[in-house]
Structures are given as structure tokens and as C-alpha cells.
Amino acid sequence: MDQYQGKYNTKSTSVKRLMREATELQEATEDYSAHPLDENLFEWHFTIRGPPDSDFAEGVYHGRILLPAEYPMKPPNIILLTPNGRFEVNKKICLSISGHHPETWQPSWSIRTALLALIAFMPTPGIGTIGSLDFTPEERKKLAAKSQSYVCPECGKITDELATGVSKPATEEEKSLIDCVAFKAEEVQEPNNSGETEGETTVPEDTSLPSLRQRASALHSPLETAGANVLDGASTSVNSGNFQAPAHTANISILDQHRSLIIMIVVMAIGLLVLRRLILI
Amino acid sequence: MGDEVREADGEKRVEAPTNQDNLIMEQQRQIEEEISEAIPLVGVKEDLLCALEKEYAADPIYTMKAKDLSSKYSSIRRMRPDGNCFFRAFAYAYFERLLTNKDEYKSFYDIVSKSKDDLIELGFPQFTLEDFYDTFMEVVERIGGGEMAQDELYELFNVTGQSNYIVVYLRLITSGKLQRDADFYLNFIDGNRTMTAFCHQEVEPMFKESDHIHIIALSAALNVGVRVRYMDRGDSAQVIAHDFPEGTTPAVHLLYRPGHYDILYEH
């Protein structure tokens, strides 16, 4: 914990709490491990083993945990990095209690609770929840086998992150919590998004970019798909990624910038090609 | 021209099927943020009559009630309306009292120092419970140490992290009491929820508003009498008082206006 001394206000309840959790989680178990990044106590990397007796049983999944400044009053966000066929990768998902009481994270939960809940939640059906994927069992098993070879630039080979023979199963109380936890992606819709889509963002043109199409096809929410169809009549349902553009989080606005950059480069490249052609002829 | 634009806007809004619930939630979140920026967690002590008459200048019923209230109370301290106002008001008002009341401090200290083990016994996750307990007791001990002054308490309660930790711990104590005496308290909750489910949904999460049942359980658990003055649109010229638990001498006086609690100070 020494690396955080002096860098963070140790009187802050969030800092104290995260350092406490880091100490608690220092020793990896066979089911999960998690540690804060050296340079940032508010970003963690974690590794979980897929739940036994499921399509994910062979899988080892790696991801990031982003802790809000208000933690533990506000829930952590989880981002999976290993393709798994259940959650989209590189997309924030957060915990909530399922059913009629969403958004009820409790400060007495912890990163450990969140990870145990995530493991338990993996085999549940995605049924179109934002950020969920409904891959077939075969595809999931294939991804599970492949996941073993995933290497994180920060943490290295992820299979080394889990311990063997060290087990800290959920307590009875944790189990009852875990049972009612659900995960979903962060909402990215805004009231004024229709305007923005048609405005300065030139998103409809970019369906030809493979990287964007990939991200778009990962979205399965029927609602978002419908929305995109109306706004962008000519495109197919695959184009639902457009809806990601108008976002209120800093993350996504960076994404937006990247996107326009890519578009600019592509347009310039086309322009140059056309120019060259004209000159050559 | 302007009209045309507006019309076009309107049309598009109808076309784009946005999820209304999400929009409402998003808007609510924005409103909450605006509120939290505008109002401190715990406000300064204000003259009661002056504060309320200004607020209700155009409202005869409330003005009448403000007058009635001012015959019994001299000042008011406003709380941030963030759903935690009851717990925060309770903690602040009672801690303020404990600064000068040594006898009461001792019995309160005995009750809260035992509370952790009781909660662990009930199955609360020990690891995080200790985190909240430690911060809570740190504050309690500083109050008892006699070194804390009024304005220090005020500052401490306006540091978001610590202030919220105190709220969390009071929520846990409330939840513990409700679960321990579930047979009794189940009579007061709607629907077919178990007490544990009720606590998970209505008591333990932050920013969830408090109802009578929260007040009864917390005041009983800590043996601290609470008098709530209800100020609403009712006909009576008086501001009705309700004591929790019934028949006790109130140590904390709160003003309730629909959806919100503030602290009251007697003459």
C-alpha cells in the first residue's frame, strides 16, 4: 500500500476503504483475484474463473473495475476485457438489484461481493439487457477455452492471477445478496440524442468501418436498435451503435473524438486517392 | 421560423422511441446533482421565524404554522434533501447535544460500542461493517473526548465521506433493529416483503428516504427520543408533534415537511 501514501488523502473515507479492500484481497483465491493499479487506487484489475457447471467453466476472465470518487456510496463499474459471450467487452457494466428495485447498491457491499456476484450472474440469460450478449453455448465454450491465453498488458498472463487450492466461498449472507444482484451496462441515452445524431456527428456514414460495425453489432437491446432504425432509416439494425454516440460520460466523449478522427483520416485518404487518380490521368 | 424549428423538433421527439424511464431517471439524477451543489449537507443555524416567513411569504397556511412553530422553537438548521436527511439530521442534532451532556454520552457510548457485535451476529458482512463502525466511533470518541467544538462538528458533517459514513452506520443500526424485532415491525410494512428484503431495499441503500418505521427503529435501538413536528397543508393552526418512541422525552427535535427533515432548536 506504500505506493499510495502521500499520493492520496488517507483521511478520505474512499481511500481508506479501498486500501482496506486491497489488503483484504491481496491473496488471490482460485475463483477471483483483484488489485488496484500501482498508479491509481481507483482503478483495479480483476480476474475471475467462470462458474463451474456452466458454459464458462473453462474460462478465466479479466477486466477492469472503475471506482467512483464517492465509493462506497456509489457502485463500482466493471469492464470485462476478455471476450466471453455473455457481456460485451470494453463496456461499463454496473451492479444493481434485479427486478423492481434497480440502482440500489449498498455501501456495505465490496469489490469482493461485486466479483462473487459477477461470477454468479454469468450463466443467467442475457435477454436483451443492455450490454448483454446471448451467444450460443458452443461459442461461449470456444471463447472460454481461448480466454486462458489472454494476456493483459498491465498484469501479464491472466491464468497466473488466480491461485490454486485457495478458496474463499461466499458466506450465507453474501449468497443472499448475490442472488438478487443484476448487472447491466450503463445507460448512454440522453434526451437530446436525436438532435446530436443528425447534427455534427457524421456517424451514419461510417458503417463501412469494420471497427465500428463490430461494436455496433454487439448491441442487442431491441430498444436501441429500433431507435437507430428510425434515425438512420437506410441502415440495417446492425447500425444501432449510433446510439452510443450521444453520451454523457467522459469516456464516451473521448470515443466520439476518436471516431471523428478516424472518419477524418478515412475521408482524407479517399480524397488523396481521388486526387492522385486525377493527377495521374 | 422559430416555430417551424420547434415543430420539427417536436416531430422528431415523437419518432425517436427513447426509453421514458431512463430519461426520467437521468433527469432525476441531474436534479439531485443540482440540489447537492446548491445546499450544504448540514446548513447553518437560522432564525426560525425569519427563515420560514421568507420561504412562505405568499402562503397563509404555512405562515400561520410558522408562527405557531416559532412559539416553541427559536432556530432551524436545514439539511440537504438527498434522501439521507432524517439520518443526518438525527446524527447531527444528537451529537450536538452530546457535546455538552456527559451523562447521556456515556449511555450512548455503551450502546453504540456494543452495536457492532450485534450486527455481525445478525449476519452483516463483517469486513465492511468494521469500516463504517470505525469511522463512526472515531467521531463519537472525539465528541466524548471533550476536545470537539461546535464548529468542528459542523465541518465534519460537511465532509461528504465522513458525513455519509455516519449515515450508513445509522442505517445499519436501523436495519439491525428492524431485523431483530422483525415480528413487531413486520406489521408496519406493505406488501409481502420479508423484513430482510425490506431492509435491503428501503433501509440500507443510501439516499433512500426514511419513513416512520425507520424513525421508530432507530430511536428505539439507540434509546434516543425524537420529536417530529409535522408541517403540512392540514387545517389545524398548530404544527402537530409526534414522539418516537411514544412517551419518551425527546432529545432531538425535527421539522418534517413532506419528503424532508430539518433540525429544530427549542427556545
CATH number at residue B181: 1.20.1300.20
Nearest alpha-carbon partner for B206 in B173, B171, B163: B171
Q: Would you state the pLDDT for residue A186? A: 61
Q: Average pLDDT, stretch A166-188?
A: 70
Is B14 inside any structural domain?
A: no
Average pLDDT over residues A87-115: 75
pTM: 0.75
B19 lies in some domain:
no
Q: What is the DSSP letter of A2?
A: G
Q: What percent of chain A has pLDDT over 70?
A: 66
- Chain A CB contacts of B80 under 8 Å are none
Give the total number of structural domains in chain B.
2
Regarding whether B146 and B192 lie in a shared domain, the answer is yes
Closest CA to A94 of A108, A112, A74: A74
Query: In terms of domains, do B170 and B229 share one?
Result: no
- CA B119, CA B176: separation in Å to the nearest integer? 6
The residue among B165, B252, B95 whose CA lies nearest residue A20 is B165
Contact A223 B17 (CB under 8 A): yes
What range does the domain containing B142 cover? 81-224
Residue pair A158/A151 in contact (Cβ under 8 Å)? The answer is: yes
- Per the prediction, chain B carries an average pLDDT of 88
- Per-residue pLDDT at A239 exceeds 50: no
Interface probe with A: pick from B33, B116, B131, most Cβ of A within 10 Å:
B131
Point out the residue among A17, A73, A174 whose CB comes nearest to the CB of B206: A73
B205·A73 Cβ contact <8 A: no
Mean pLDDT, range A149-158, rounded to an integer: 90
CA angle B248, B251, B253 (to 5 degrees): 105
Strand partners for B53: none
The C-alpha cell at A210 is: 469494420
Q: Bridge-partner residues for B266, per DSSP?
A: B73
Interface of A with B in 35-94 (CB under 8 A): 70, 72-73
In the predicted structure, residue A224 carries a pLDDT above the cut 60: no
**Rounded-to-integer distance, Cα B33 and Cα A99, Å:** 25
Chosen from A73, A100, A196 to mutate, greatest number of chain B CBs within 10 A: A73
Containing B71, the helix (H) or strand (E) segment is none
DSSP letter assigned to residue B199: I
Assigned C-alpha cell, A93: 457494466
Does the domain at A13-187 match CATH 3.10.110.10? Answer given as yes
Are the C-beta atoms of residues A273 and A267 closer than 8 Å to each other?
no
* Residue A242 confidence (pLDDT) above 70: no
User: Which DSSP string corresponds to A26-59?
Assistant: SS--SSEEEEEETTEEEEEEEEEEPPTTSTTTT-
In angstroms, how far apart are the furthest CA atoms of chain A? 77
What pLDDT was estimated at residue A196? 39
Residue B218 lies in a domain: yes
Domain membership of residue B177 (yes or no) is: yes
- Answer yes or no: is B6 within a domain: no
Residues B86 and B135 in one domain: yes
pLDDT at A180: 65
Provide, as residue numbers in chain A, all residues whose Cβ is less than 8 Å from the Cβ of B131. 16-17, 20
Q: For residue B93, is it within any domain?
A: yes
Three-state SS letters, B7-70: HHHHHHHHHCCCCHHHHHHHHHHHHHHHHHHHCCCEEEEEEHHHHHHHHCCCCHHHHHHHHHHH
B92 and B65 co-located in one domain: no
Scanning A166-205 for CB atoms below 8 A from B yields 171-174, 176-177, 180, 187, 189-191, 193-195
Q: Stretch A158-162: mean pLDDT, rounded?
A: 87
Q: Chain B partners of A189 at a C-beta cutoff of 8 Å?
A: 18-19, 22-23, 26
Same domain for B219 and B229: no
- Give the residue numbers of B annotated as catalytic, written as ranges: 82, 85, 260
- Residue A180 annotated to the active site: no
Q: How many CA atoms lie less than 13 Å away from B6 in the CB half-sphere?
A: 3
CA distance B52 to chain A (A): 32
CA distances from A250 to A170, A206, A254 (A): 35, 22, 6
